[in-house]
Amino acid sequence: MFQLSLFVESPDSDKPLRIASEAIRQLKAVISSYDVVSSEPYWKVDGWYKVTCDIQTNDPLNRVQAESLVSRISDKWEWDEVGSSAHSSAKDMAAIFCDDAIKFASCWFEELN
């Protein structure tokens, strides 16, 4: 299982959910299910929404597979020292996301082989 949070610039609360759904479709070959845990205005930036999803994969992943998986969402990720979580930023890293409205993303993997 892993958790993915997408920070989406949007004038309304419906668009971020649609964008998250489209982004997760990019992962459909590897995931078995997902649940939207929350979708709410992001308190730090006006006009942004944070959508957080819990995602189940078909099989356990290793670090290389996890990197390949999240590369379908954004082309640049910075991983923590442990290698279980990462973030991507359009502003700080000039990352290119699968949708231009996504400005930041973070992920956390429960267990990597």
Pairwise CA distance, residues 88 & 96, whole Å: 9
- The reported pLDDT for the residue numbered 113 is 81
Given a contact cutoff of 8 angstroms between Cβ atoms, the answer to whether 89 and 77 are in contact is no
Residues of the chain whose pLDDT is less than 70? none
Please report the domains of the chain, with CATH numbers, ordered by start residue.
2-109 (3.30.70.380)
- Put the strands of the sheet holding 2-9 in their side by side order: 31-41, 48-57, 2-9, 102-109, 85-89, 78-79
Contacts of 43 (CB under 8 A, 6+ apart): none
- The reported pLDDT for the residue numbered 48 is 98
Given a contact cutoff of 8 angstroms between Cβ atoms, the answer to whether 12 and 92 are in contact is no
Pairwise CA distance, residues 92 & 85, whole Å: 17
Query: Six-digit token pair at 104?
Result: 């930041």
Q: What are phi and psi of 84, to 5 degrees?
A: -105, -10
Beta bridge partners of 5: 52, 106
- The reported pLDDT for the residue numbered 47 is 98
- The reported pLDDT for the residue numbered 57 is 96
